[in-house]
Amino acid sequence: MEEYRIGYETIIKASQHLISGSSINFVPGETYISPHGAIIDGEDVSNLVRCSLDKWYTEGKYSKAFQIKLKDFFGGRVRGVTLCNSGSSANLLAISALTSKEFGSRAIMPGDEVITTALGFPTTVNAIIQNHAIPVFVDVDLHTFVPSPSIIEEAIIEGKTKAVILAHPLGAVFDAERIREICDEYRIWLIEDVCDALGSTLNGRLVGTFGDIATISFYPAHHITGGEGGAVLTQSPMVKKVVESFRDWGRDCYCMAGKDNTCGKRFNYEWECLPYGYDHKYVYSRLGYNLKLTDLQAALLESQIDKLPYFIERRRENFRLLYDGLKEFGTYLRLPKVIDGADPSWFGFLITVKDFCSPFTYNELIAYLNEHKIGTRTFFAGNLLRHPAYKDVEYTVFEELINTDVVTKNSFWIGVWPGITKEMVEYIIKIFRNFIDEKTK
């Protein structure tokens, strides 16, 4: 036992010196500037080591500790936090939960409509299709890349539209305040996909607190990471209970892993088709999944969230530096704008090449940046309806997706994550200037 203790303390002490994703020895033109990354320090590694030595790897004490910290981050405006294995799973759980019969006429049934956009990441939309509802696609604004509330309201068909699910893309903020009012007026659900936008605010209020449900991702590219991981934020205890049932195989029991008889009547339930007193831990009331987070992931997240305010500020600062440095090229490049009252916690810096004004093409600019070790990414899938997977899917396009197609063709983003230094930002701006000077001679 003494040997074990010494080994444990040695590992913990050594891990304090570990750090990943920062303190890079940057050599302009040689060091690759990744558009995304994670900062992992010694405290994070220490937490992982502690968890691994506890030998309890499914949901446990670290999951509980992280849930509390995440809920506290939202300042009492979120009533429930359910952890899961990814942001994509969080979206699946959000839509699946709202199909439950507990919600009566508000439940999403096969053939009902859910309003969303075609621009962005597929798993915001896939959960609609997988639950046999019909996605209704609206276009986005070309400057803010989010839809207007007026378009959302026009797309609603009373009795047929059951929900709106929208992402705050790349950290930018849609008008969740106004769309919340619209959803309340028509008694439909609002789901906020906050996977890119942890820490973004609207009129001083964190996004993720406007919706009936919000989803978060902890993939390594996002604001904090568990390697993988996600969370579902809820305002209603009933919705939380249903979300957790779908996450945990569809079981009726709500005991945490390793716990029994939380309800106090495990062997005293009556079921229509099961023997009296059938073990409640093995009664299934929904067609669910196993989408739980591990305690190892939670251990990393429980440490990472302590650094979240710093990460958010670094992302905002890098965005400000890039914007100030690139705004002189506004004749040729369309830079991001934010809606009134928004303060984004940026995921990336989106740039759109203006087709009719620029003496260069999107492809020429992308190639030049990559040649000079500046990593770029498209706006995820762009227009999803251009992809083979959606060829035979039933959907409705409320209006022509003109701006969605422009972004698909001419937009890309570069990184603002905390591992990008001021020196790197200055180099990025210099390379843009060199390229545009060459093309405008």
Which residues are marked as active site?
Answer: 222
Whether the CB-CB separation of 144 and 337 falls below 8 Å is answered with yes
Measured from the Cβ of residue 36, the count of other Cβ atoms closer than 10 Å reads 20
81 bridge partner residues: 233
Residue 29 corresponds to which tokens in the numbers above?
Answer: 């033109």
Question: Please, are residues 166 and 117 in contact by the beta-carbon 8 Å criterion?
Answer: yes
Looking at the DSSP bridge assignments, the partners of residue 80 are 234
Q: What's the farthest any 2 CA atoms get from each other in the chain?
A: 84
* Among candidate residues 167, 31, 14, 27, the one with its CA nearest the CA of residue 94: 167
Residue 340 DSSP one-character state: T
Residue type, 217: S
Beta-sheet strands, E only, within 111-208: 113-117, 134-138, 161-167, 189-193, 201-202, 205-206
Measured between its terminal Cα atoms, the distance across the chain in Å is: 74
Distance (Å, whole) CA 293 – CA 279? 25
